[in-house]
Amino acid sequence: MRHTRMAVCSAAFLLATACLATAPDTAQGAPRTAAMGYVALGDSYSSGVGAGDYLPGPAHCKRSSRSYPMLWAAAHHTAAFAFPACNGAHASDVLKDQLTALGPGTRLVTLTVGGSDAGFAGVMTTCALGGTDRCLSAVSRARAAMDGALPRDLDRLYSAIRDRAPAAHVVVLGYPHLYHLMGTCQAGLQDTERAAIDRAVDRLDTMIAERAADHGFAFADVRSAFTGHEICSRAPWLHSVDLLRLTESYHPTALGHSYGYLPALDRAS
Which residues belong to the active site? 44, 251
Q: In what order do the strands lie in the sheet with 80-82?
A: 80-82, 37-42, 106-112, 169-173, 218-220
User: Are 257 and 63 spatial neighbours (Cβ–Cβ below 8 Å)?
Assistant: no
Closest CA to 21 of 99, 88, 84, 72: 84
User: Are 103 and 165 spatial neighbours (Cβ–Cβ below 8 Å)?
Assistant: yes
Closest CA to 113 of 68, 158, 165: 158
In Å, how far are 4, 173, 174, 220 from 209, measured between CA atoms?
Answer: 31, 9, 8, 8
